[in-house]
Amino acid sequence: MRTGSPNWNKLTLVNILERKKTAVIFPAFGCKYLGNERELLEGMSGDLRELAVRAKAAVGLDADRLLSCRDGGFDDELESQYAVYIYSCAVSSVIKRSGIHTDFAAGYSMGLYAALCHAESITFEQGLSLIATAYRGIRNVAASLPFGVGVISGFTQEEVNVLIDGRDDVEIINVNNRHNLLIAGYESNVKDILAKAREQGALNCKYLTFHSPYHSRFMDSAADKFREYCETLTIYDPVYPVISTVDRRAMTTWNDVAMDLADNINRNINWLETMSVLIDAGVDAFIECGPGRSLQRMAKFMDGDFEVYHLQNLRLLLSSERVCQSARAFN
């Protein structure tokens, strides 16, 4: 029992009871960069450069090139994935060092690797290796057939399901929010669904430039190989629950994580439901750890009373009384 401050216990209890929950969320590659991520991060810590150097040692990534590419416009998809991961891990380090308590973590698509690194379930270097292995496995499968991915804005999941109408060659691979989702399948069929959606009043239908149908059953064989690779790794229990985007489970053991890593390759994900689970669990502050603010923008079409902080406004959060109270209550 602490002494010298008669109100301490009462105040701390109030802080804990009143304290809202915080979730850290991690974007995937393809997100639009703000353009000043490097300056923002370097103004807060030296983590970005240090992680870039570690990535160079681990996977041969050109650290200088990574740091000089302000808009995230990497020609190579793998390099683009590495970059998002490194930026994400750098923000994660800042969050941890600032004393912000994490209640939950979640990663959008390949953001899973950074979420697991944040939760100390995998190491930074393991994350890089998982990214490379998943990418190569997926490319091997996708290269043999004409696959495609498209995004539809302005239609609900139900409306897109009507368009798909039981066809097993196209599937919804991710629901971003109630007005925006991704489909994948054979190129011609994806283009056909996009055209139909446009004709029926979807506000925007876009065929994406990357052609790997992530999170779809077309990746079953890649997932099997990736599962075998994951079995060779030492994975730790996450220190914070990580919410699965595949089935919205709170992952708390290494076994949960190992299973989800492989499922993330070939099973549909649902970001809207993942965020809803977090909001229902009492999360009222999300911290988007990574370049850009794509997750903050997606969250605008989700119900609930919450804020999404991103790199641009992170300083606001770091200096807020709320975080100071949260840190005092838990540290």
Partner 1 sequence: MAKIENGTIDEVRKVVYEFFSEECEVAIDELNDDTNVIKDLEGDSLMFLELLEIFKKKYGLNVELKTVGKYVVKHPAETIGAIIRMTMLIIEHENRIAELE
Question: Among the residues of 166-253, which ranges form H helices?
Answer: 187-199, 220-230
Which residue lies nearer to partner 1 by CB, 22 or 294?
Answer: 294
Please, which of residues 114-153 interact with partner 1 by CB under 8 A?
Answer: 153
Type of residue at 289: C
Asked whether position 300 contacts partner 1 by CB under 8 A, the answer is yes
**Where do the DSSP E strands lie in 16-100?**
21-26
Task: Show the site string, 32-51: x = touches partner 1 by CB under 8 A, - = not.
Answer: x-------------------
Which residue lies nearer to partner 1 by CB, 147 or 306?
Answer: 306
Whole-number Å distance between alpha carbons of 82 and 63: 11
Please, which of residues 156-185 interact with partner 1 by CB under 8 A?
Answer: 159, 179-180
Asked whether position 73 contacts partner 1 by CB under 8 A, the answer is no
User: Which residue reads 């690797």 in tokens?
Assistant: 113
Q: List all residues 6 or more positions away from 168 whose beta carbon is below 8 Å from its beta carbon.
A: none
With CB under 8 A as the contact rule, the residue among 201, 232, 305, 321 that binds partner 1 is 201
With CB under 8 A as the contact rule, the residue among 162, 301, 303, 304 that binds partner 1 is 301
Which residue lies nearer to partner 1 by CB, 64 or 199?
Answer: 199
Task: Show the site string, 220-259: x = touches partner 1 by CB under 8 A, - = not.
Answer: ----------------------------------------
As a residue count, the chain comes to 331
As given in the structure block, the two tokens for residue 38 are 């490097």
Integer CA distances (angstroms), 77 to 9, 12, 62, 216, in order = 52, 47, 14, 19
Contact 151, 303 (CB under 8 A): no
Q: Coil, strand or helix: which one is 182? A: strand
As given in the structure block, the two tokens for residue 291 are 């370049």
Which residue lies nearer to partner 1 by CB, 57 or 203?
Answer: 203
Which residue lies nearer to partner 1 by CB, 180 or 266?
Answer: 180
Contact 277, 243 (CB under 8 A): yes
Asked whether position 203 contacts partner 1 by CB under 8 A, the answer is yes
Total residues contacting partner 1 by CB under 8 A comes to: 18
Q: Site residues (CB under 8 A) for partner 1?
A: 32, 153-155, 159, 179-180, 198-204, 297-298, 300-301
